[in-house]
Amino acid sequence: MNSPTRHPSRSMDDLNIVLDPASPLSLQHQLRQKLIDAIHRGVLRPGRRLPSSRSLAERIGVARNTVSLAYDALIAENHLVSRARSGIFVATDVPSVRIAVGQRGGGLEGPLATRLPPAPKDEGFRCPGNWHQYPFPFIEGCVDAALLPNPEWREALRLACSRHEIEAWSRSTTDMDDAELIEEIRGKVLPIRGMDATPDEILITLSARHALQLVGSLLVGRGTPVVLEAPVDEEFERRMRDRQADLSMLDEYVDRPLPRAAVVVTSARRSFPLNSSRPRQLLALINAADGVLVEHDMPPGARDGSHVAPALRAMDAQGRVIYIGNLSPAVSCGESLGVVASVPAFIERLRQLRRIQGTAPPTLIQRGWSYFIGLGHYSAALARTGRVLEGRRIALRDALNHYLHQRVSIKTLPGASAYWVSLPETFDTRDFARQAAAIGVLVEPTRLEGGREALCMGITGIAEEKIRDGVRNLSRLIRGDLAMAPRHIDDEPIAPLRGAALRRTMAGATLLYSTVYGDPATLEIRSNGEMVGIAGYSGEDCDRGRWWIEEGRWYRCWQRWAYAETSSYAVVVDGDQLRWYGADGILADTAVITRSGSTARKQARKP
């Protein structure tokens, strides 16, 4: 049996310091983190002497200057102390004292667990956190790194983190939003949708979804008629039902008036056709019912600039429209902030609710956005992103028309960056989405008007050159050309990998698959014989293990998963799909095989 090996120059016996050259952090920052972690865990106790910079550099395989810089930074922060002619030691007064930990009370069924209300039935789509590792991620709203204006964001955040700005944070004690950001939104964001607002008519939220929940909490109570234009947000619908609202769909009121005092909510995935009378007709219906309209707008950047129409709030003469939008996710650094525009009295009540919940967006993020917009980066990034998304949208349109037009119904909306594909009625869209994920194609099952199921296919997270292959694979799955994996290896048309080919394929690979209970999982197979597994939508279940090859089979053993027992598999690779067959020859699991950019480049250079 071949046992996994670790490069001797990359480890230190007592500290177990292992640095990852592929990490986005520099080796110096990684070393600082490892030393701080050792101090807090008690491995490096106060007063202990550390190796010299030369000695430690040799033992972990880095330049001596890397260790020296790490030591200097920790000395400056009083984690370490340097003593003349003696060396470097862990500080005796370092703030890492650990006291004895008492017995942790209560298990999964303790008194707190018994007080919890029943968990909501969660049948909605949840995008896996590792969506970007899939070959064909057609998930609308997930943004690939190629779209992000990284240099511009670094400049904006550097200015927001200046000494002057940080000192100003400590002097701020109000719950008001950043005044400069409000001005930038008033002058450069809302006018794009035809709106003019005063500062007291605008509120900033953590996201558009956060804004929707705040507005719903303020407007909706028991028996409130809530009319949805289309499926808006499954979590929002669930909360409205929890508040015992009377939910219905807008298409039910084509030939009859809206309920009295109705709250009508439009969908961010819908847009009214241009040159249409429908927006004004809807406003007239709401006025007649003495209702209000919550306009959940399509994110900017998702629509081509030539298709921008005025927001419903821009047409509102009676103050009945509450506008909810957000700063473009396609150019955002992290979660994009939400924006609410309404009459001052309503905005003030929202501000009070936000203060009670403690959910005001951080000052740093707001000021970073104000610089990002004010320096012209936002408008320039939107224009650049719009051109890229238009090319991707055309590529998706052409691929859908070429491969799927005879078997499915394809729909889009003016200016939207997504297409909705209605499968034949014999298909279960959620089950089909799971099958598609197993071959590397991520699509979102959703609902259209009238409750009809469909697949939403977006282009914000997939490169243009990969769109055709992704749609081709999807069409093969719909036609049935991609049969389910054989249940037994004797029926497998592809020979299992062996020897050098097996090692070359597995070493450095990342495998994407689903657990038996449906959660996404990622398996990182490192070249040094280590494995790292992450499962769950938030990566909450993790384990480590080791792998090796023996007699043409791939072996693995986890520390905790699978009862920490050793298992062996025959491995078959079919395109992007990997299939494991157990010792009994029966199919054990399938996964999508992918590689990080650095690993893929190394493999490509091998003969």
**What is the residue-wise DSSP string for 68-135?**
HHHHHHHHHTTSEEEETTTEEEE-TT-S---PPPPPPP--TTSHHHHHSPPPP---S----TTGGGSS
Residue-wise pLDDT for 558-577, tens only, equals 998 988 999 999 999 988 88
Tell me whether residue 50 is in a domain: yes
Under DSSP, is residue 299 helix (H, G, I), strand (E, B) or coil? coil
Contact 313, 341 (CB under 8 A): yes
pLDDT of residue 410: 77
Contact 209, 235 (CB under 8 A): yes
Among 353, 379, 405, the domain-final residue is 379
Query: Which of 324, 362, 339 lies closest to 175 in space, CA to CA?
Result: 362
> Strands 530-535 and 541-550, how do they pair?
antiparallel
Q: How far apart are CA 492 and CA 481, in angstroms?
A: 16
Sites in the chain below the pLDDT cut of 50: 1-12, 273-275, 302-306, 597-607
Instruction: Provide the CATH number for the domain around residue 62.
Output: 1.10.10.10
pLDDT of residue 423: 80
Query: Do both 333 and 467 map to the same domain?
Result: no
- The dihedral over CA atoms of 143, 149, 152, 154, expressed in degrees to the nearest 10, equals 50
Residue 248, beta-bridge partner list: 227
Q: How far apart are CA 241 and CA 236, in angstroms?
A: 9
Under DSSP, is residue 54 helix (H, G, I), strand (E, B) or coil? helix
Among 479, 514, 545, the domain-final residue is 479
pTM: 0.80
Query: Do both 248 and 360 map to the same domain?
Result: yes
Tell me whether residue 202 is in a domain: yes
Tell me whether residue 453 is in a domain: yes
Query: Do both 86 and 167 map to the same domain?
Result: no
pLDDT of residue 396: 92
Instruction: Provide the CATH number for the domain around residue 165.
Output: 3.40.640.10
Q: How far apart are CA 471 and CA 448, in angstroms?
A: 21
Instruction: Provide the CATH number for the domain around residue 433.
Output: 3.90.1150.10
The residue range of the domain holding 48 is: 8-90
- Share in percent of the chain as helix, strand, coil (round to 5): 40, 20, 40
Residue-wise pLDDT for 355-412, tens only, equals 999 999 999 999 999 999 999 999 999 989 988 988 998 999 899 888 887 666 777 7
Query: Do both 263 and 218 map to the same domain?
Result: yes
pLDDT of residue 70: 94
Query: Do both 239 and 182 map to the same domain?
Result: yes
Q: How far apart are CA 202 and CA 338, in angstroms?
A: 10
Q: How far apart are CA 260 and CA 411, in angstroms?
A: 33
Under DSSP, is residue 348 helix (H, G, I), strand (E, B) or coil? helix
Q: How far apart are CA 273 and CA 307, in angstroms?
A: 9
Query: Do both 520 and 424 map to the same domain?
Result: no
Q: How many domains does the chain have?
A: 4
pLDDT of residue 602: 41
Q: How far apart are CA 283 and CA 267, in angstroms?
A: 15
Query: Which of 464, 595, 424 lies closest to 524 in space, CA to CA?
Result: 595
Among 345, 379, 413, the domain-final residue is 379
